[in-house]
C-alpha cells in the first residue's frame, strides 16, 4: 500500500497536470515531402446572410429606410414636418393593379409656401462622412401644380443642416430627379428632410440617398469599408444569400432570385424573416429591398476573388417555423428557377438568361461551379425534394457540384438520418452546421479524421463557438471562442481531402440592429471591426497553402497534447512551408519544429494572434485589441525554434530553398 502511494506520488510529480504543459521543449516533426492532401482553393470562405441588418442598413449603402413606402406600415421610418406652422398632408396611394412589384407611393400636398414635408430616420440614423459626396434621387410626378421645388436637407443629431440641395420636379409622368451635395460634418445619426417649396401636390416614390464613395464607386452600391473587410480575407467562396432567409418563415417569404435583379424600383420588397424571429430582439423595421440582389452577389464574389455559392430554396420553408413544403408535383417552377440561375450565371449571351445578365451589364459569365439545394433542411421531405433537384440539375449541368444539407446539428438522429441517405445517394458535398461551446470545438478537432475518404466532400457551412449557449443574446466574440475555432480548424485543414469548404456564421451584425450573436464582423453606421474570430478566419484564408503535410509530436498527430493543436501545409505557388500552431494552455511552451524532406530558408515570419485574457474582445473603440502581429524569425538549419505564448495562435511561414 505504502509502495503504491509512493509510485502514485512520483507519477504525479513527473506528469504535467491535465492541460498544464510540460516545460520541456516540444519537438514537432514535419515531414514536408509527404503530401497527405490537396487543399481546395475554396477551402475557407464566407457565409453571407441578411441577418443582423447585414444588407439593408448594412453593406447595402442605401441610407433611406422604407424608401418605397412598402413596409407594413407605409410611413414607418418617416415623420411629417411642419416648420414654422407650415401645413399640408401626406396620402399613401396603392396602385397594385398597375405596379404589383412596387404598389405604394405617397402624395405630398403642401398648403404653405415653404416648410411642409417629411423626414427619414435612416437605419438607426444615417452614417455621414465629412467632405464625402452624397447622391439623392427620387421618383417624382407633379400632380397639377408646376413650379414645386423639393428642398433636400441632411440634418445632424442637433438638428443642424450638414448638406443640402434642391430638386425641381417638372414632369407630370414619373421621372427620376437627382441632386448631389457634399456633407460638412461627420455624423453617425443624421436624418434626411424633404421640404416642399411652393403650394400644390407631388407624388414621390423610391426616395434614396447613397454615398458616392461606395465599393468600387458603383452607384447605388455597397458600403466600401464593410466589403473591404471581406476582400481583406481573400475568401475562397461566397455563400449567399443565407441561411434561413433562403427558406422564409413561410414559402411566401422565401428568397426568389429572379425578383432581385433589374431596376431596384421593381424588386418586390418583402419582410425579413429575422424581423420577428426572436422575441428578445424584435426588429419591426427589418425588410428586404433586395437592393443587394443576385447580380450584386455575383459581382461581389467576383470582386473579392471568391467562388460564388448560391443557396436556393428547394420548395421548403424554415423547419423551425412553418415547415411548409411544396407538393412534389408542383415543384416544377422551383426546379426551373435553379436551372435558370445556372444559365443566368454561366450561359452565353445568346441564351435567355445569359442575355439578361448581359443586359444588366455583365456579359462575362460568372463561372458558377456549385449550388446549394435548400439551406438547413432535413427529414424525408428534404431527401425527396433533393433527389428531384439533383436529377434535373445534373441531367443538364453534370459539372455543377451540389451542396446538400445534413440539418441544423452535427450529430443526433436528424444528422444521422440525412448523412446516411445522402451518402447512399453519392451526394457531392454535405453541408454540416455547428453552433456549440468552445469546449465542443476543442474536443472535436479529430471529427473528420475517420470520415470516409471516398464519400461526399464536406462543407462546414455554418459554425461559431458560442460563449454562453447557442443563440444566447449574451454570447460574446471573445478570445476563448476564437481560440477554440482556430484549434478546430487545424482538424479541418488536416482533413482537406474530405473537408473542401468551411465558413463561419453569421458574417455581419449592426451593433444596434442585431438579432443573433456571435458574428464575425460588427459595425455601426460609420465604423466596423473584425472580431478575434475574424482574424482567425483571415489567417486561415491567407495561409491556406495548397498541400497538407504531416506535423507530429512523438509520432502522433497534434490534436491537443498539452493544449497544442497544429497543422502544416506547403504552398506550391509561393514555395513556402506554413505551420499553424496553437498553444491553448495558460503557460508558454517551447517548441522546436524539425522539418524533414525540404530545405528551409534561414528566416521566415511569425504571425501571432494572442491575448492573455480569454475574455478579451474587440470593439468599435478598440478594434485591434486582439489582432495579428507579424515579425521576422530566424531558423537554425531546418529547425524553427519558438516560444509559444500562452493562449496563442501562431502562423509560421518559411520559404523553401531549391
Ligand atoms: O447563421 C444563422 C442561422 O443559423 C442561419 O440562418 C441558419 O442556417 C442557421 O440555423
**DSSP secondary structure string, 249-263?**
SSGGGS--GGGGSS-
Strands 237-240 and 307-312: parallel
| Three-state secondary-structure class, residue 602 | strand
How far, in Å, CA of 507 to CA of 292, rounded? 15
List of domains in the chain? 17-24+550-657 (2.60.40.1180), 39-60+216-542 (3.20.20.80), 78-213 (2.60.120.260)
pLDDT at 516 over 70: yes
Written as one string, the DSSP assignment of 408-432 is: SSSSHHHHHHHHHHHHHTT-SEEEE
**Å from CA of 526 to ligand 1 middle:** 26
**Which atom, in ligand 1's list, is nearest to the CA of 376?**
8
Q: List the 133-142 sheet strands across, edge first.
A: 88-94, 104-110, 200-211, 133-142, 175-182
* Lowest mean pLDDT across 13-27, 104-118, 350-364: 13-27
φ and ψ of 47, to 5 deg? -115, 110
pLDDT at 19 over 60: no
Q: Cβ distance 386 to 404 under 8 Å?
A: yes
Backbone angles phi, psi at 568, to 5 degrees: -145, 145
Cβ–ligand 1 distance for 405 under 6 Å, the answer no
Active site residue 376: yes
Whether the per-residue pLDDT at 584 is higher than 60: the answer is yes
Alpha-helical runs (H) found in 304-364: 332-346, 352-359
Q: For residue range 409-420, what is the model confidence (pLDDT) as tens digits?
A: 999 999 999 999
Q: Please give the distance, rounded to the nearest whole angstrom, from the Cα atom of residue 643 to the centre of ligand 1.
A: 39
pLDDT on residue 144: 75
Half-sphere exposure of 410 (CA within 13 A, CB side): 18
What tens digit of pLDDT does each residue of 85-116 get? Answer: 999 999 999 999 999 999 999 999 999 999 99
For the chain, the maximum distance between any two Cα atoms, rounded to a whole number of angstroms, is 107
Q: Please work out whether the CB of residue 518 comes within 6 Å of at least one atom of ligand 1.
A: no
Ligand 1 centroid – CA 444 distance (Å): 21
Q: Quick one: which atom of ligand 1 is closest to the CA of 462?
A: 1
Contact 563, 645 (CB under 8 A): no
Give per-residue pLDDT as tens, 226-247: 999 999 999 999 999 999 999 9
Cell numbers placing 374: 435548400
Q: How far is CA 331 from CA 296, 337, 373, 598, 609, in A?
A: 27, 10, 13, 56, 49
Q: What is the pLDDT of residue 20?
A: 52
Q: Is 651 helix (H, G, I), strand (E, B) or coil?
A: strand
pLDDT (0 to 100) of residue 7: 37
Is the predicted pLDDT of residue 263 greater than 80, yes or no? yes
Give the pLDDT score at 145: 62
Report the predicted TM-score, pTM, of the whole model to 2 decimal places.
0.96
Catalytic residue among 49, 153, 376, 432: 376
State the average pLDDT for the chain: 95
For the Cβ of 244 lying below 6 angstroms from any atom of ligand 1, the answer is yes
Which atom belonging to ligand 1 lies closest to the Cα atom of 506?
Answer: 1
**pLDDT class for 421, splitting at 50, 70, 90?**
very high
Residue nearest to atom 6 of ligand 1 (CA): 243
Q: Could you read off the pLDDT of 44-63 as tens digits, one per residue? A: 999 999 999 999 999 999 99
Q: What phi and psi, each to the nearest 5 degrees, are found at residue 397?
A: -130, 75
| pLDDT value at residue 143 | 82
Residues 438-477: tens digit of each pLDDT = 999 999 999 999 999 999 999 999 999 999 999 999 999 9
Q: Is the pLDDT of residue 494 over 90?
A: yes
Any ligand 1 atom below 6 A from CB of 375: yes
Helical (H) or strand (E) element with 566: strand 564-571
Report the C-alpha gap between 156 and 137 in whole angstroms.
20
Amino acid at each position: 500500500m505504502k509502495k503504491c502511494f509512493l509510485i502514485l506520488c512520483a507519477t504525479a510529480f513527473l506528469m504535467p497536470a491535465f492541460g498544464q504543459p510540460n516545460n520541456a521543449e516540444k519537438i514537432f516533426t514535419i515531414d514536408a515531402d509527404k503530401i497527405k492532401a490537396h487543399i481546395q482553393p475554396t477551402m475557407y470562405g464566407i457565409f453571407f446572410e441578411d441577418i443582423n441588418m447585414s444588407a439593408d442598413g448594412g453593406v447595402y449603402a442605401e441610407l433611406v429606410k422604407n424608401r418605397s413606402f412598402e413596409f407594413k406600415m407605409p410611413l414607418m421610418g418617416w415623420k411629417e414636418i411642419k416648420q414654422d406652422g407650415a401645413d399640408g398632408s401626406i396620402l399613401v396611394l396603392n396602385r397594385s393593379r398597375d405596379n404589383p412589384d412596387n404598389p405604394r407611393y405617397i402624395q405630398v400636398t403642401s398648403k404653405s409656401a415653404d416648410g411642409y414635408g417629411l423626414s427619414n430616420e435612416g437605419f438607426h440614423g444615417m452614417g455621414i462622412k465629412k467632405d464625402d459626396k452624397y447622391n439623392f434621387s427620387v421618383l417624382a410626378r407633379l400632380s397639377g401644380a408646376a413650379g414645386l421645388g423639393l428642398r433636400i436637407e441632411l440634418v445632424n443629431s442637433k438638428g443642424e443642416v450638414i448638406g443640402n440641395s434642391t430638386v425641381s420636379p417638372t414632369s407630370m409622368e414619373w421621372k427620376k430627379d437627382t441632386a448631389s451635395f457634399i456633407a460638412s460634418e461627420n455624423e453617425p445619426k443624421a436624418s434626411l428632410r424633404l421640404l416642399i417649396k411652393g403650394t400644390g401636390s407631388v407624388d414621390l416614390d423610391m426616395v434614396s440617398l447613397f454615398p458616392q464613395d461606395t465599393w468600387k464607386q458603383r452607384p447605388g452600391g455597397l458600403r466600401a469599408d464593410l466589403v473591404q473587410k471581406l476582400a481583406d480575407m481573400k475568401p475562397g467562396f461566397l455563400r449567399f444569400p443565407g441561411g434561413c432567409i433562403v427558406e422564409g418563415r413561410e414559402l411566401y417569404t422565401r428568397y426568389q432570385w429572379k425578383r432581385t435583379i433589374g431596376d431596384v424600383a421593381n424588386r418586390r420588397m418583402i419582410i425579413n424573416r429575422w424581423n420577428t424571429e426572436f422575441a428578445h430582439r424584435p426588429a419591426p423595421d427589418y425588410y428586404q429591398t433586395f437592393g443587394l440582389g443576385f447580380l450584386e452577389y455575383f459581382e461581389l464574389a467576383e470582386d473579392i476573388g471568391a467562388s460564388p455559392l448560391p443557396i436556393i430554396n428547394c420548395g421548403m420553408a424554415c423547419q423551425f417555423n412553418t415547415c411548409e413544403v411544396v407538393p412534389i408535383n408542383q415543384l416544377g417552377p422551383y426546379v426551373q428557377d435553379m436551372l435558370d440561375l445556372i444559365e443566368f450565371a454561366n450561359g452565353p449571351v445568346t441564351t435567355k438568361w445569359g442575355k439578361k445578365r448581359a443586359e444588366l451589364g455583365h456579359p462575362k459569365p460568372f463561372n458558377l461551379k456549385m449550388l446549394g439545394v435548400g439551406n438547413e433542411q432535413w427529414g424525408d421531405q428534404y431527401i425527396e425534394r433533393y433527389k428531384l433537384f439533383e436529377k434535373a440539375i445534373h441531367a443538364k449541368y453534370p459539372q455543377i457540384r451540389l451542396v446538400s444539407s445534413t440539418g441544423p446539428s452535427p450529430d443526433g438522429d436528424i444528422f444521422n438520418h440525412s448523412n446516411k441517405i445522402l451518402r447512399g445517394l453519392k451526394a457531392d458535398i454535405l453541408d454540416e452546421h455547428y453552433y456549440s461551446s468552445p469546449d465542443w470545438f476543442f474536443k472535436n478537432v479529430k471529427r473528420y479524421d475517420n470520415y470516409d475518404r471516398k464519400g461526399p466532400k464536406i462543407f462546414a457551412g455554418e459554425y461559431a463557438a458560442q460563449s454562453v449557449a447557442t443563440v444566447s443574446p449574451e454570447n460574446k466574440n471573445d478570445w476563448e471562442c476564437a481560440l477554440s475555432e482556430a484549434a478546430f480548424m487545424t482538424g479541418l485543414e488536416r482533413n482537406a481531402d474530405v473537408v473542401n469548404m468551411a465558413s463561419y456564421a453569421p458574417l455581419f451584425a449592426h451593433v444596434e440592429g442585431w438579432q443573433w450573436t456571435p458574428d464575425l464582423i460588427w459595425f455601426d453606421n460609420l465604423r466596423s471591426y473584425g472580431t478575434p474570430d475574424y482574424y482567425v478566419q483571415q489567417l486561415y484564408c491567407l495561409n491556406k497553402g495548397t498541400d497538407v503535410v504531416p506535423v507530429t509530436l512523438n509520432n502522433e498527430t497534434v490534436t491537443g497534447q498539452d493544449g497544442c493543436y497544429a497543422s502544416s501545409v506547403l504552398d506550391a505557388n509561393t514555395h513556402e512551408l506554413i505551420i499553424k500552431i496553437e498553444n491553448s494552455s495558460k503557460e508558454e511552451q517551447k517548441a522546436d519544429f524539425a522539418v524533414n524532406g525540404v530545405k528551409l530558408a534561414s528566416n521566415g515570419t511569425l504571425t501571432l494572434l494572442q491575448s492573455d485574457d480569454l475574455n478579451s474582445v474587440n470593439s468599435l473603440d478598440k478594434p485591434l485589441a486582439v489582432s495579428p502581429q507579424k515579425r521576422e524569425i530566424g531558423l537554425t538549419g531546418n529547425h524553427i525554434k519558438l516560444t509559444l505564448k500562452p493562449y496563442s495562435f501562431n502562423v509560421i511561414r518559411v520559404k523553401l530553398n531549391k
